[in-house]
Structure formats: structure tokens, C-alpha cells
Structure 1
Amino acid sequence: MNNLEKFDRLYFEVKGNRWYWLFSIFCRLSLAYAFIFAGMVKIMGERFASGLSELHPMGAYLEALHHTGFYYTYIGIAQVVAGILLLIPRTVALGALLYFPIIVNIWILSFALRFEGSFVTSPLMVLANLFLLVWNYDRLKYLLPIKNYSSNAVFEKPKKYSNKFPLAFFTAVIITVALTIAWAQFGFDAMPRNSLSDCKKQFENTKNKVAGFQFCECIHINGEPLDECLQGFESATIE
């Protein structure tokens, strides 16, 4: 038995477990809801995160994106289509493929601008999307550069699922969520936050209070680019 056959054997064993199956449904519903909601906002012509100031780095980006006309609508349609495809059992694999490049782009954008609104959710959505892609490996494996496929066909729903609880897997899920939240809270010395008051709160009663307040004003009052405000903050803290 080669490595590919061993993987297929493990894969079909996992697919036959009720807890993994329920988790896949949770991922599908969560991802679908997020994109259908966000997509409908764009299709209706409203600016996403409309309460975010245009001086904020993400607010400036979203404001510019809102004025791209039919491109903005196109993004919304793509998100809604991806969400709907995830809701239909026969099209989950296609939906996961369409969803993936969009959510990766959102994740990188959120990380680049340190946007609090999706700093935690976007990486978790990427991981959930990856889970669905692996979950549908039996349908997607023919797209992979694999020369010799195993004889196993597409997984068929069993008459009775295994009820063995995968403790290690769900422990890893909980740890991943906790680490993602902790990283968002403590991974950076300065976060722009969504408002001037929230931004300043992170620096209250700290040794970087003055530099931090200047950073927040640089973002939320002066409307300067994030990189320039961060450079000013780093220079002030070094001094």
C-alpha cells in the first residue's frame, strides 16, 4: 500500500465520522452566511463597513472600492454565488474553489491594514475553506498533478456514521481559534482599531502612551497611510 492509498483510506474513514460531517456542515453554513451577507451589501450598492471612517486605512480602501462601479457589484455577485454553491450539497466543491481566492485576498488585506473587523475572522475562514477543500478531496483530486489515482471513487454517504468523537481534531480547532484571537490582541504593538477612542485605549497606562496617541491621531485625524504612522510610532518608541 503506497502513501496515496494510505491517505485515501484515512480520508474515507474521516468522511464516515458523524462529528467531522457535522463540522463540515458548520463550515459550509458559516462561510455561506458571511459571503451572502457581504455580497448582498455590494449588490445593493451600499458601502461595506459604512460606519468606518474614510480616514481609516481600510475605510479609505472600501470607499475607493465602492466607487469602482460594476466591479464592486461583480465582487458582490461572486461572493453570493460562492455562498449559494456551498449551501447546495452537489456544488460544495465548486463553491469551495470559488470561495478560496476571494477569502485569501480578504485575509491578506486585513493583515496588511491590520483591520480589526476581519483580523480574526478572515484567517479562520481561510482555514474553514481549506477544510472544505480537503473534505471534497474525492471530487477535486482529479485536478491535482497526481499521475496515479487510487481505485477509490467518490465517497458515498454511509447508512450509519461512526460516532467516535475526534478529540484531537477538535482540541486543535479550539487551540487554533484561541491562538488566532491572542495573536490579534497581542501580536502587534500598535493597531489602528476602528475609531480614535478605541485606538487610544490600547496605549492607556503604558510607557508608549504619548507615541501611541500620536499614532492614533496620525490615522484617525490626519488620515495618513498606515506605514507612515507606524514608522512615526516606531521612531518615537525607539527614542
Structure 2
Amino acid sequence: MQFEKLRTNRFNQWIIIHLRYLVGFAFLPSGLIKVMGERFTQVSTDNPIGYFFEALYQSGFYWNFLGLAQVAAGILLMTQRYALPGALMFFAILSNIWVITISLSFTGTWIITSLMMIAVIILLVWDHHKLHPLFAYNQHSAVKAFPDPERLWIIAGSIYSFSFIAILWLSSIKEDYTQWLSLVFGLVLAGTFIITNYKAYKNSGSLLKTQV
């Protein structure tokens, strides 16, 4: 099958692994802002967009809950191992955001959210075989086994998640030392990216482990 050929191609696997990192990170900044109880935008309430976000902000715990859901979806995607639940959460949340940006005529933002929708749909298609049992009512449905991301990428995802969150949290603290700590975490991110991809290259491009 064409899907099997695409799914087992090592370069495609590398792209999906890093697409999960990228899409997961996209939710962290806006999610953490909401978790910390801060406003997402400074647009005046005279503008429909500013009025909408101010109403959400004034909702209190619901604002925090939205942020927590975004952060959870981003982290799940970046773990690789739990990427499918993360993609499903991401799709549910992003669908609402996408419709909002179109209905309120966000200048240019709808283009970004549309690209994010395309990306998360690609991730869902990539793992769609894992969803088959959900739709096989009263029938036996076997899930075809494809190689999963090796431990290298799972560890990298944890490092990325922690470092991203640390940098974003430090940016909210107005102290001199936070700039140095942010720089350290930035170097950790860059180092993780270089080391993981170098190891993958050294291992003859073997991005995924063989399942037993």
C-alpha cells in the first residue's frame, strides 16, 4: 500500500517527529499566558476581537482551563509516545480557534491557524490506523504495527517541553538573572537538536526502532 510506503520511509518519519515538536510548541506560549492568568492581547474592547478576548479573560478559571488544555496538548505531542492523544486534543482546540479567527476577521492570523490546521490533520492522517478500533463497532479490528519513535526522540521531546516552558516562564519575571537562565535553556534546546540529529545521522539514518 502507498500509505505503508510513506509510513515506513525514514525521511517522512523524521519530518513527522519534528512536525510534532513544532506544532506542540505553537500552543505553549498562548497556553502558559492563560495558565498564569494574564491577558492574551492588549487590543481595545472597542474592537470585537479585543472584546471577545476580554470576555474570555474575565471568565476566570475557564481562561486558566483553556491555557492548561493547550499546554497539555502541546506537551503530549512533543513526547512522541503520546502524540496521537495530543493531536486529537490539538485538533479539537484548534478547530475552535480557527473558526474564531475567520469569523472575527483576524488580520493575517487566519492564515497561520489554517497552516496549523493542515499540520495537525497531517499528524492525524499519519496515525489514523490507530483510530480504526474506535469505529469498528462490535467487530474485531487489528491495528497495524508501525515502528514507533525511538527513545532518543522521546527524551528530546521531554527536554524541549521543559526548556520551552522554562524560557516562557522566565520571560514573565523581570530580573537580571532570568536573561542568563533563558540563554542557558536556549543553549540546551540548540544542543538537544544538534545532538539528537547527529546521533540519528550516525546511526545510518535510523530514526525509528524496529518493533518486536
Structure 1-normalised TM-score? 0.57
Tell me, in whole angstroms, the C-alpha distance in 2 between the residues paired with 1:156 and 1:76. 32
SS in 2 for 1:100: helix
* Structure 1 residues 159-213: Cα deviation after superposition (integer angstroms, max 9, x where no partner): 9xxxxxxxxxxxxxxxxxxxxxxxxxxxxxxxxxxxxxxxxxxxxxxxxxxxxxx
Q: For structure 1, which runs of at least 5 residues remain unmatched after alignment?
A: 1-8, 160-239
- Inter-partner Cα distance in structure 2 for 1:90 and 1:124: 24
Q: How far off its partner does 1:147 sit?
A: 7.7
Instruction: Say how many residue pairs are matched.
Output: 150
2:144 aligned to which of 133, 153, 156: 153
Query: How far apart in 1 are the matches of 2:111 and 2:89?
Result: 21
Query: Is 2:6 the counterpart of 1:14?
Result: yes
Match of 1:61 among 44, 47, 52: 52
Alignment RMSD (CA, Å) = 2.3
Aligned: 1:77 with 2:68: yes
Residue among 47, 50, 54 paired with 2:39: 47
Give the drift of 1:59: 1.1
- Relative to structure 1, the CA distance from residue 100 to residue 157 in structure 2 (aligned partners, 3 Å threshold; closer, same or farther) is closer
**Unaligned 5+ residue runs, structure 2?**
151-212
Distance 1:153 1:101, change over 3 A: same
Task: Identify if the C-alpha distance between structure 1 residues 40 and 102 changes in structure 2 by more than 3 Å, giving closer, same or farther.
Answer: same
Residue in 2 that maps onto 1:166: none
Identical-pair percentage: 37
Please state whether the residue corresponding to 1:59 is helix, strand or coil: helix
Query: How big is the shift at 1:146?
Result: 7.2
Q: Cα deviation per residue 1:101-153 (whole Å; 9 max; x = unaligned)?
A: 11010000000011125211111111111111111123222223578777662
- 1:23 aligned partner: 15
2:131 aligns with 140
Please tell me whether Structure 1 or Structure 2 has the larger radius of gyration of its CA atoms.
1
User: What letter matches 1:103 in structure 2?
Assistant: L
Show the 5 A alignment for 1:72-221.
72-116=63-107, 118-145=109-136, 153-157=144-148
For residues 12 and 147 of structure 2, what CA distance do their matches in structure 1 show? 15
Answer whether contact 1:42 1:72 (CA < 8 A) is retained.
yes
Q: Cα offset for 1:38? A: 0.9
2:15 and 2:100 map into 1 onto residues whose CA distance is 27
Are 1:32 and 2:24 matched, yes or no? yes
